[in-house]
Structure 1
Amino acid sequence: MAKKICMVVAYHPFLDARIFKKEAKSLQKMGYDVTMIVPRKKGHLFDIDGTPIKDRFRHKIFTHEGIKIITYHSESARTPLNKVLNDEVVWENQGFNNPLTQLAMKQDADIYHTHEYLSLFAGIGIKRLMKKRKGKDVKLIYDSHELIPDPLSPSYTEEHRKNLQEKLFLMLDEVDYVITVSESIKSWYLSHKPDLPVEIIYNSPPLARSYKPKAYDTDGLTVCYEGNMEGKKGSREKMIGISDICFKKFNFRFKVIGGSRFGDSLEIPHHLEDVIKLNGWVDYHTIPAHMKDADVGWIDLEDVEQSLNLAYSLPNKFFSYLNNGLPVIVNQSHAMEAFIRKHQCGFVIGKKEATPADYADALLSLQQDKQRLKRMSQNARQVMERLYSWEKMEERLLYVYQQLEK
């Protein structure tokens, strides 16, 4: 009988690229029986841009692409899950009595795979109660997409940060394997817990099979941005500023795949409507087709010095650009800068806080040196083929699960 896996999710959308489209689908392909426990908000599941899904997935339990989905109301789980901040004596009576923990336990799985700080807490409840009530030893994975709490973020008081971190270290003592998304985050965990088993599974996509090397034989330049563009995330004002400078100097286009989230809007100045193209949110598997006419991928991380998560970030879009042969242009940030310099697959602005003029100068320089762009593009694709594609990450994911089965 196939080993039963239960993905435990506190706030990500159930169609999340990492959780559903890559990890859950890969485990299913490997022969595991995969179930996901996922949250509804105000009664609805929600799409990757935050839009409530009202026309489908209405049943509490359903199967999607061969994976069993069990839903719960996130509002009913919030208060008990937040008991993680209380003393440990409160956990079993008040914290573990939440729908996420209780529904997951009913699946009687062999391995529980959690994805957030609060779902990790739910997982601790699963592990303890399964042993206490059923005498069953289950394995627990913490898939740490980022560091919670962020050791540098000013959004925490020192007291709150200390409490969160103390509870994290307490929970990690019961985790069987940590999966994370960058070498820097792995190093942070091992600096605090040297014996903790940690594997890096990058946020990389499957190799784009329709990829064709870019010729860079035209006089123009198209910059691509993939993902959310709201508030500071996505730096919409910088995108507009870059476009405003560049289109006056050379044949320039800015292409956005994704954009604003539900309840938000992305307004483009009238004089840039022919310069900035908004593709909207597209199916995950069609992203390579949408990137075929782009030349460079853009990432701007603001307030890097106030967030270790940003400094350590290697986001989905970073690998998506590389997968499609797009050199990445980015401001100074520890992990991406180290990667780009090592593999010569992009351009790093020499500032932590880069301005639209800084990016525009760099893009003008690249547009005038197409051979350099071509070399970086080739390096980008080659490093994905050799080391970082999701096919390579699948091998790491399988290794983690095989270790837990021993």
Structure 2
Amino acid sequence: MSKKVCMVVAYHPFLDARIFKKEAKSLQKMGYDVSMIVPRKNGNLFDIDGTPFKKSFRSNVFIHEGIKIVTYHAEKTRKSLNKVLSSEDVWETEGFNNPLTNLAMAEDADIYHTHEYLSLFAGIGIKRRMQKEKEKKVKLIYDSHELTPDPLHPRTSEEKRKNLEDKLFIMLKEVDYLITVSDSIKDWYIARMPDLPIEVIYNSPPLIKDVELKAYEGSQLTVGYEGNITHHKGNQEKIFGISEICSQKLDFQFKIIGGSQFGTPLKIPKHLTTIIKQTGWVDYHSIPKHMQAIDIGWIDLEEVHYSLNSDYALPNKFFSYLNNGVPVVVNKCQEMENFIRKHKCGYVIQKQQADAKDFANAFLYLKRNPEKLEKMSKNGRKVMEEIYSWEEMEKRLAGVYAKLLPTP
């Protein structure tokens, strides 16, 4: 009989690339029986760009691509999950009896795999209640996609941040394995809890086969951006500024794969409509096809105030570019800078807050040095083939599960 895994989700969309497309599907392929407990908002599940599914996925429980999806109403759970900031006595009396915890327990899984600070809290409740009510010892994984709380987040008061961190370390004492997304985040945890079992599983995609590397010949240059466009990720004003500057110097295109939340197209200034192209949100597996036209990938994790999560990030798009042999240009963020310097696969602007002119100058410089771009392209693709592809991450994921559920 196959072992059961339950993914416990507090706010991510159920089709999230890391949770569903990679981890859940990989575990299914390994032979685990996988289910997911996922939130509805205002009665709807939602797509990766935040758009609600109003005509599909209406059943409370359904099977999608062989994985059981169990849904709950986020609004009915939020009050209980927010008890994480209360004392442990309140956890037991008011925090752990909620739809997310109850539905997860009903799955009677062997491993519960949580993905956010609040789903970790639900996971603590699941683990304690399964032992008390069913006399079953289950394993608990915390998949820390980022640091919560961010020790340097400017919008969190010092008092609240300390409370969140104190509660985090109480919860981590009951975690059987921690997974995270970058070496810097791993080091942050190890410095505070040296005995906590931990593995880094990068946000990398499956390896694309037969990638034709760029030649970087001719006068044309296409810069690309993949993902959400917000004020601090893919800032639209910077896209307009970069396109304005670069298009005056050469035959330039800016390609956006993804866009703003809810799929609303950017309102592009009229004189830039032939320069900036938008695909909108596309299927996860079709991203490589859209990457073929991109020469350089752009990442800008600008924070008005310094953020440790930005400094420690290795986002999905970073590996997506490299997977397709696309060099990356980034602002100064510790983890991406370390990676780029180690593998020589991109260019780092030495500013945490780089403006459109800074990025444009970097793109123009690289265009004038095609041999550098060509070398970066080859290096990025090579490290994906040898070290960082999802196929390699899948082995790490399998190793974590094997340690928690060893074969008799």
Q: How far apart are residue 287 of structure 1 and its match?
A: 0.3
Aligned to 1:73: 73
Aligned to 2:154: 154
Aligned to 2:275: 275
User: 1:69 is aligned with what amino acid?
Assistant: I
Aligned to 2:216: 216
Structure 1: distance between partners of 2:200 and 2:59: 35
Structure 1 residues 153-175: Cα deviation after superposition (integer angstroms, max 9, x where no partner): 11100000000000000000000
Aligned to 1:3: 3
Aligned to 1:174: 174
Structure 2: distance between partners of 1:281 and 1:264: 10
Q: How far apart are residue 219 of structure 1 and its match?
A: 1.4
Structure 1 residues 231-288: Cα deviation after superposition (integer angstroms, max 9, x where no partner): 3322111111111100010011100000011185521110000110011000000000
Q: 1:332 to 1:368 in 2, by over 3 A?
A: same
Is residue 2:334 matched to residue 1:334? Answer: yes
User: 1:350 is aligned with what amino acid?
Assistant: Q
Aligned to 1:367: 367
Of 257-266 and 191-200, more deviation after overlay is shown by: 257-266
Is residue 2:106 matched to residue 1:99? Answer: no
Q: How far apart are residue 304 of structure 1 and its match?
A: 7.5
Q: How far apart are residue 92 of structure 1 and its match?
A: 1.4
Structure 2: distance between partners of 1:302 and 1:110: 41
Give the unaligned 5+ runs of structure 2.
none
Of 98-107 and 258-267, more deviation after overlay is shown by: 258-267
Structure 2: distance between partners of 1:160 and 1:263: 34
Q: How many residues in Structure 1 have an aligned counterpart in Structure 2?
A: 406
Structure 1: distance between partners of 2:341 and 2:112: 37
Aligned to 2:393: 393
User: 2:348 is aligned with what amino acid?
Assistant: V
Structure 2: distance between partners of 1:304 and 1:206: 34
User: 1:99 is aligned with what amino acid?
Assistant: P
Q: Kindly indicate whether the alpha-carbon contact (under 8 Å) linking 2:49 and 2:263 is maintained by their aligned counterparts in 1.
A: no
Q: 1:201 to 1:153 in 2, by over 3 A?
A: same
Aligned to 1:292: 292
Of 277-286 and 348-357, more deviation after overlay is shown by: 348-357
Q: Kindly indicate whether the alpha-carbon contact (under 8 Å) linking 1:230 and 1:264 is maintained by their aligned counterparts in 2.
A: no
User: 2:155 is aligned with what amino acid?
Assistant: S
Structure 1: distance between partners of 2:305 and 2:41: 33
* TM-score, length basis structure 1: 0.99
Structure 2: distance between partners of 1:263 and 1:149: 29
Structure 2: distance between partners of 1:358 and 1:405: 50
Q: Kindly indicate whether the alpha-carbon contact (under 8 Å) linking 1:83 and 1:91 is maintained by their aligned counterparts in 2.
A: yes
Q: How far apart are residue 128 of structure 1 and its match?
A: 0.2
Is residue 2:303 matched to residue 1:303? Answer: yes
User: 2:313 is aligned with what amino acid?
Assistant: S
Aligned to 2:16: 16
Stretches of 4+ moved more than 4 A in 1?
A: none
Q: Kindly indicate whether the alpha-carbon contact (under 8 Å) linking 1:229 and 1:260 is maintained by their aligned counterparts in 2.
A: yes
Aligned to 2:252: 252
Structure 1: distance between partners of 2:378 and 2:335: 21
User: 1:104 is aligned with what amino acid?
Assistant: A
Secondary structure, counterpart of 2:190 in structure 1? helix
Secondary structure, counterpart of 2:262 in structure 1? coil
Aligned to 1:325: 325
Q: Kindly indicate whether the alpha-carbon contact (under 8 Å) linking 2:253 and 2:276 is maintained by their aligned counterparts in 1.
A: yes
Secondary structure, counterpart of 1:179 in structure 2? strand
Structure 1: distance between partners of 2:126 and 2:37: 13
Q: How far apart are residue 371 of structure 1 and its match?
A: 1.3
Aligned to 1:59: 59
Q: Kindly indicate whether the alpha-carbon contact (under 8 Å) linking 2:232 and 2:300 is maintained by their aligned counterparts in 1.
A: no
Secondary structure, counterpart of 1:306 in structure 2? coil
Secondary structure, counterpart of 1:21 in structure 2? helix
User: 1:303 is aligned with what amino acid?
Assistant: E
Structure 2: distance between partners of 1:213 and 1:233: 27
User: 1:248 is aligned with what amino acid?
Assistant: Q
Structure 1: distance between partners of 2:133 and 2:376: 57
Structure 1: distance between partners of 2:48 and 2:243: 27
Superposed CA RMSD in Å reads: 1.0
Aligned to 2:164: 164
Aligned to 2:89: 89
Q: How far apart are residue 230 of structure 1 and its match?
A: 2.2
Q: Kindly indicate whether the alpha-carbon contact (under 8 Å) linking 1:11 and 1:39 is maintained by their aligned counterparts in 2.
A: yes
User: 2:405 is aligned with what amino acid?
Assistant: E
Give the unaligned 5+ runs of structure 1.
none
* TM-score, length basis structure 2: 0.98
Q: Kindly indicate whether the alpha-carbon contact (under 8 Å) linking 1:304 and 1:333 is maintained by their aligned counterparts in 2.
A: no
Note the 1:122-161 alignment, pairs <5 A.
122-161=122-161
Q: How far apart are residue 31 of structure 1 and its match?
A: 0.4
Q: Kindly indicate whether the alpha-carbon contact (under 8 Å) linking 2:265 and 2:280 is maintained by their aligned counterparts in 1.
A: no
Structure 1: distance between partners of 2:98 and 2:52: 23
Secondary structure, counterpart of 2:361 in structure 1? helix
Q: Kindly indicate whether the alpha-carbon contact (under 8 Å) linking 2:263 and 2:280 is maintained by their aligned counterparts in 1.
A: no
Structure 2: distance between partners of 1:48 and 1:236: 19
User: 2:147 is aligned with what amino acid?
Assistant: L
Structure 1 residues 366-406: Cα deviation after superposition (integer angstroms, max 9, x where no partner): 11111110110000100000000000000000000000013
User: 2:207 is aligned with what amino acid?
Assistant: L
User: 2:398 is aligned with what amino acid?
Assistant: L
